[in-house]
Amino acid sequence: MYHILVVDDELKIRLLIKKYAEFEGYQVSEAENGMDAIDMVRKEKFDLIVLDIMMPELDGFSTCREILKIKKIPIIMLSARGEEYDRIHGFELGIDDYVVKPFSPKELMMRINVVISRNQPVEGASQNEHEIFQKEGLVVDYTGRKVTVDGVEVDLTPKEYDLLYYLIRNRGIALSREKLIQDVWGYDYFGDDRTLDTHIKLLRSSIGPYRKFLVTLRGVGYRFEA
């Protein structure tokens, strides 16, 4: 049974998420502030954390930063604000997803299911195959999940890496926003492509001069052209 930690200072939000998560078969623990959440992460094992941004004592961003110093745990961030800055800051810290309040509990559960399944080890994967993509000074080690730019390893967030991996695997193909969301994020497209555009912006910044390989197709989506 997967164990989820819900961190939110609003009791009704915690109870709502707990109700739906337990119905899906998850074990759920609660924390009403960031300090308690950090203490719980030190003592218990969690498979995913649902973390609110606006909390007393310690905000969600600071809590996320401290938690990821302790353990690498998938995090879905909740916020009453949908500003681009908040989304970018969260993804730069290494969160897996970002959900704006008010949210659909069913949609949140779908995202939780996807993030947890995506972070489980792949059974039967060969330990001997080592795949590498290289174009000019951009090197992507699929097996080691490492990316180097002109010989320097860059620190991509998990979702940046997944997006880059998918784009390279489908290089030369025009990929619509809808297809990228469905295949990379793993859930149905809900009509909000800001998450995708935010990650494209972060990815371009991360790969520096090789952002030239990421081509924007106006009115369509993106293509990796190398």
Domain spans of the chain? 3-118, 132-224
Pair 72, 49: CB distance under 8 Å: no
pLDDT (0 to 100) of residue 130? 65
Domain at 3-118, CATH homologous superfamily? Response regulator (3.40.50.2300)
Confidence bin at 191 (pLDDT 50/70/90):
very low
End-to-end CA distance of the chain: 43
* Tokens found for residue 176: 């619509």
Confidence bin at 188 (pLDDT 50/70/90):
low
Q: How far is CA 83 from CA 50, 62, 79, 92, 131, in A?
A: 19, 18, 9, 15, 38
Tell me the average pLDDT across 130-158.
Answer: 88
pLDDT (0 to 100) of residue 47? 93
Strands 48-52 and 27-31: unpaired
Same fold, 3-118 and 132-224: no
| DSSP reduced 3-state for 27 | strand
The second-level CATH assignment, the architecture, of 132-224 is: Orthogonal Bundle (1.10)
pLDDT (0 to 100) of residue 192? 57
pTM: 0.65
